[in-house]
Structure 1
Amino acid sequence: MLFDSEPEPDIVIAKLPLERYDNRHPYPEDIELLIEVSDTTLKYDLDTKQKIYALAKIKEYWVIHL
C-alpha cells in the first residue's frame, strides 16, 4: 500500500496476470514502472510524488516533462 496516499500516475506497468487487479489496485511489489506525464505539475511530480513512491519502494518512477 502507499500509506495514506493513493497518487494516480498516468501510466502503470504492473506484473501479469491482469486478473489479479480485478478487485484491487496493484500493490507496490506488483508495479514495475510508474510514469507521470508532466507539464504544470512538474514540481509536484518531482518532489511530493517522487517521495511518496520512494517510501512505498516503487522500483522505477519516470517523469516525462512536456
Structure 2
Amino acid sequence: MGEEVMEMPGVLSEYVELPKKTKKEIKIAMMTPWKVACGVALHAELIGHEWVRMGYKLKVFAPIEK
C-alpha cells in the first residue's frame, strides 16, 4: 500500500483494502454543512475528499442559503 501506519494502542493498525471492483461500487451519502466556516463542515470536507481520493462515490446533502 505504500502508506505508513502509526501504531496506537487499542486502534486498528492495518487498513482493510477492498478489491478494486467492489470499491468502485460503494456509494456514500453524507448530510452535513459544506463550504461554510465551521468545524463540522471542515471535518466533513476532509473525510469526504479522502473517500473520493480512495475511489468511493460520494454524494453530499447540504443546506443552502437563499
Whether the TM-score (by the shorter chain) exceeds 0.5 is no
Larger Rg: 2
Highest RCO, 1 vs 2 (Cα 8 Å, sep ≥ 6): 1
What's the TM-score, normalizing by structure 1?
0.37
What's the TM-score, normalizing by structure 2?
0.37
